[in-house]
Amino acid sequence: MRASVTAHRDFTISRIDDRLYCAFLEHLGRAIYTGIYEPGHPTADKNGMRGDVAQLVRDLRIPYVRYPGGNFVSAYNWEDGVGPREQRPTRLDLAWHTSDSNAVGVHEFYDWCETVGTKPMLAINLGSRGLDEARNFVEYVNGPTGSYWGDLRKKNGRAEPFDVRLWCLGNEMDGPWQVGHKTADEYGRLALETAKALRAFDKSLELVVCGSSNSDMATYPEWERVVLEHTYDAVDHISLHMYFNNRANHTANYLALNEKLDRYIGTIASTISFVKAKKRSKRNVTISFDEWNVWYHSNAADRATLDGNNGWPHAPRLLEDAYNFEDVLQVGCILNTFIRRSDVVRIACIAQLVNVIAPILTEPGGPAWKQTIYFPYYFASVFGRGTALNLTVDSPGYDADVADNVPYLDVSGVHDEAAGTLTFFAVNRHASETLELSIDLLGFGGPGRVIDHQVLTHADLKVANTLANPDAVAPKTGSGVAIDGSKLTGRLPPYSYQMIRVQL
Ligand code: AHR
């Protein structure tokens, strides 16, 4: 089976915002406690942060990490997480039916961000709380000393403002499960007034307003229209979330789901344009896709805790999806979609980063290891920076639940002019046929040479990287990709993910 692609230097989609490769950490399960933070772990630093996890995170070169939630943030008191540890209260977390010692708060999170080379994207509680706490929190984090909140921050160990630039105005406020859930009008008004107050403090802050929790919400996409009509000229991004599952165990339908993601992004891009026109605005609001991932493997195991049958445990195992090889293909397709829609998606956060639906798993007191999905995320984050190319793709396809004629080849291409490289991320969605791939490289000036070729494939779609067998799925250096003149050729085995890099 053949698939051909044309890549032309001048046919581009957009300069990719590096923030397409962000992540998310919530006070949920073991994401924080025994995830990034485990005093007493053999690799822990002086702040109690696990060094083995920090290294795996550092390697991912993540620009921003969203924190502290998630559903958790909608009943969170940020003040509980500052000041002397021994005086911090243990609180019940209403979102996940657990308790939180507050041993980690904004100071500890910020220091960890510095350790791993990332920056915080902070979420504000607009569920149980409102404008006043929002402005206090932002003043505490970014305000000067000589003021009440700045001086309190100094007393708590940090005189310099943290200078956090990126703020989320609540989380999934469209969701009935959310503490303090609101209608689009109620939320739109509150988000606008909060944005105005935050901008009165610092007009250069970057603000993210809540869009839909997923595209199956009954209020989607009317939610976005209403919220944006309230907030359009006061915010920078609208947030979208989407989780993917293969509960039906139908691989072809599962691997077509990024078609639905693409439609979701397209619909909200159109809604943004509609509101922009209606407002006669020259502002360009873009999308912050600040929660995305596969999430379903752990659902049954989590039920008892989420139903409240386990009391209020601290840092239990929750949402610990063990990702399999099939999920590598899914995550590869999702990331390709974000690259192809990088004209409007400026920020995207894999949800989450450690233990909770995460590319990294840890064992308390034991090792940390890479889940299968670590690899496509790593390759995209490290090598998917530059300009997204508008590829022409000619591939046979198949009809799936969510779309017809889904191409077997899912591909994106990135041109890094500074490095003089071209990088292609390709997934073969076919169960049994190899794709004979050819890519015409036009306008790049002279033949290039292949400098890297990584392949992920496995005979067992359901194999996962476990504590006992952490390297079951790992990338291998590929072979057989050749460049003749301006044509690159290669072979994509059935159900495979590949990254091909060309030095121009
Ligand atoms: O990431 C897990 C949860 O998914 C988040 O807390 C919430 O925002 C979403 O529903």
My answer on whether 379 and 396 are in the same domain is no
The CATH number for 405's domain is 2.60.40.1180
Mean per-residue pLDDT, 16-36: 98
My answer on whether 337 and 203 are in the same domain is yes
My answer on whether 287 and 222 are in the same domain is yes
My answer on whether 161 and 28 are in the same domain is yes
My answer on whether 376 and 445 are in the same domain is no
My answer on whether 403 and 273 are in the same domain is no
Do the beta carbons of residue 153 and residue 141 sit within 8 Å? yes
Distance between CA atoms of 501 and 504, rounded to whole angstroms? 10
pLDDT per residue as tens digits for the range 480-492: 999 999 999 999 9
- In the reported structure, the alpha carbon of residue 143 is separated from the centroid of ligand 1 by a whole-number distance in angstroms of 29
My answer on whether 293 and 358 are in the same domain is yes
155 pLDDT higher than 80? yes
Look-up: residue for tokens 């969510």? 402
pLDDT per residue as tens digits for the range 426-475: 999 999 999 999 999 999 987 899 999 999 999 999 999 999 999 999 99
End of a domain among 326, 350, 383? 383
Give me the pLDDT at residue 327, please. Answer: 98
Look-up: residue for tokens 């149980």? 128
Distance between CA atoms of 214 and 365, rounded to whole angstroms? 36
My answer on whether 63 and 143 are in the same domain is yes
The CATH number for 116's domain is 3.20.20.80
Query: What is the token pair recorded at 156?
Result: 């708590």
The residues that are catalytic are 172, 291
Give me the pLDDT at residue 446, please. Answer: 76
Q: Is the CB of 321 under 6 A from ligand 1?
A: no
Give me the pLDDT at residue 462, please. Answer: 98
First to last CA, the chain: 28
End of a domain among 336, 367, 383? 383
Which of the listed residues 171, 179, 302 should we mutate to test ligand 1's pocket, taking the one with most ligand atoms within 8 A of CB? Answer: 171
Cα three-residue angle 148-106-295, rounded to 5 degrees: 145
Read off the pTM.
0.98
pLDDT per residue as tens digits for the range 183-200: 999 999 999 999 999 999
pLDDT per residue as tens digits for the range 370-425: 999 999 999 999 999 999 999 999 999 999 999 999 999 999 999 999 999 999 99
My answer on whether 431 and 402 are in the same domain is yes
End of a domain among 335, 355, 383? 383
Mean pLDDT of the chain: 98
Candidate from 40-44, 133-137, 444-448, 449-453 with smallest mean pLDDT: 444-448
Give me the pLDDT at residue 151, please. Answer: 98
Give me the pLDDT at residue 79, please. Answer: 98
Q: Is the CB of 355 under 6 A from ligand 1?
A: no
Number of domain units in the chain = 2
Do the beta carbons of residue 356 and residue 31 sit within 8 Å? yes
Ligand 1 atom closest to Cα of residue 351: 1
My answer on whether 349 and 268 are in the same domain is yes
- In the reported structure, the alpha carbon of residue 355 is separated from the centroid of ligand 1 by a whole-number distance in angstroms of 14
Range of the domain at 436: 3-8+389-503
Mean per-residue pLDDT, 265-281: 98
My answer on whether 377 and 393 are in the same domain is no
My answer on whether 227 and 372 are in the same domain is yes
Q: Determine which residue's CA is closest to atom 5 belonging to ligand 1.
A: 70
3-class SS shares of the chain: helix, strand, coil, % to 5 = 30, 30, 45
